[in-house]
Amino acid sequence: MVDVLVCQQGDLKDGDVRIVAKGELEVGIYRHAGKYFAYQNRCFHQGGPVCEGVIIPKVEDVLAPDRTLLGQRFNEDEMHIVCPWHGYEYKLETGECAADKKLKLRRYEVIERDGGVYVAL
Ligand code: FES
Measure the CA angle with vertex 117, ends 5 and 95; round to 5°: 100
pTM score of the predicted model: 0.92
Atom of ligand 1 nearest to the CA of 53: 2
Residue nearest to atom 3 of ligand 1 (CA): 86
Taking the C-alpha atoms of 74, 75, 79 and 82 in order, what is their torsion angle to the nearest 10 degrees? -30
Distance from the alpha carbon of residue 67 to the mean position of ligand 1, in angstroms: 31
- CB of 17 within 6 A of ligand 1: the answer is no
Q: How far apart are CA 73 and CA 76, in angstroms?
A: 10
Taking the C-alpha atoms of 25, 96, 110 and 14 in order, what is their torsion angle to the nearest 10 degrees? 110
Tell me 87's DSSP state.
Answer: -
Structure confidence at residue 83 (pLDDT) = 98
For residue 7, the tally of other CB atoms under 10 A from its CB is 15
Domains: count for the chain: 1
Structure confidence at residue 1 (pLDDT) = 86
Structure confidence at residue 33 (pLDDT) = 93
- Neighbour order of strands in the sheet with 110-113: 3-8, 116-120, 110-113
CATH number of the structural domain spanning residue 38: 2.102.10.10
- In the predicted model, residues of the chain with pLDDT beneath 50 are none
Determine the structural domain holding residue 72 and report its residue range.
3-120
Distance from the alpha carbon of residue 89 to the mean position of ligand 1, in angstroms: 9
Distance from the alpha carbon of residue 80 to the mean position of ligand 1, in angstroms: 14
Structure confidence at residue 26 (pLDDT) = 97
Structure confidence at residue 85 (pLDDT) = 98
- CB of 85 within 6 A of ligand 1: the answer is yes
Q: Are strands 89-91 and 107-108 parallel, antiparallel or unpaired?
A: unpaired
Atom of ligand 1 nearest to the CA of 50: 2
